[in-house]
Amino acid sequence: MSTLIVYASSKGYTRECALHLQQQISGDVDVADLKKVKHPDLSGYDRVIIGASIHASNLQGSVKRFAQSHEEELLKKQLLAIYICALDDQKWEEYLNQLPAPITARAQLKEWFGGRIIFSEHFFLLRKFLKKVTGSVEDLHKEQPERVERFIEAYHQLLEDPA
């Protein structure tokens, strides 16, 4: 019984979440970075967790393409879970709708993990733009560790009693 975490990350927060889940979730857990492997082999896994971040109101294209092209296989998994990394705590469920509807409907677990912006990680013009749209000159830290822990707890409960 094993889990695959597939994710895409621009500046590392979604990756950190994936690696944290890998450490904390029971059983065999592998991770696949969709920027490196577009179509990871899902055949050996009973459970899949999809991790995606939001940029300009869009879910990472590689995650959308992955979910679309593997929809049938994903729907057959015993356990399907999704986490979204984004700053906006209001719109994350709306962002989920960018995945195929049967996948979001089937996922037993969906959670928002928050997000962060470290301005120095972005090139000058984007940094300037981000400061303007966020109205902040300080780095933005909206990571949600308690939601990550809640997700892990709920995941373990589902392992005992899959819905």
Applying CB under 6 A, the residues found at the interface with ligand FMN are: 9-14, 53-57, 85-88, 115-117, 130
Task: Identify which of residues 132 and 161 has a Cβ nearer to ligand FMN in the complex.
Answer: 132
Task: Identify which of residues 13 and 155 has a Cβ nearer to ligand FMN in the complex.
Answer: 13
Radius of gyration of the chain (CA): 16
Q: CB 29 → ligand FMN: shortest distance, Å?
A: 19
Residue nearest to ligand FMN (CB): 115
Contacts of 50 (CB under 8 A, 6+ apart): 6, 7, 63, 66, 67, 80, 81, 82, 83, 99, 103, 107
Task: Identify which of residues 15 and 70 has a Cβ nearer to ligand FMN in the complex.
Answer: 15
- Under 8 Å between Cβ of 60 and 50: no
Q: CB 145 → ligand FMN: shortest distance, Å?
A: 13
Q: CB 11 → ligand FMN: shortest distance, Å?
A: 3
Give me the helices (H) in 25-114, please: 61-69, 71-75, 92-96, 101-106
Task: Identify which of residues 46 and 88 has a Cβ nearer to ligand FMN in the complex.
Answer: 88
157: which 2 tokens? 């409960």
Task: Identify which of residues 136 and 157 has a Cβ nearer to ligand FMN in the complex.
Answer: 136
- Under 8 Å between Cβ of 79 and 107: no
CA torsion 16-17-20-25 (nearest 10°) is -150
Q: CB 161 → ligand FMN: shortest distance, Å?
A: 31
Q: CB 74 → ligand FMN: shortest distance, Å?
A: 21
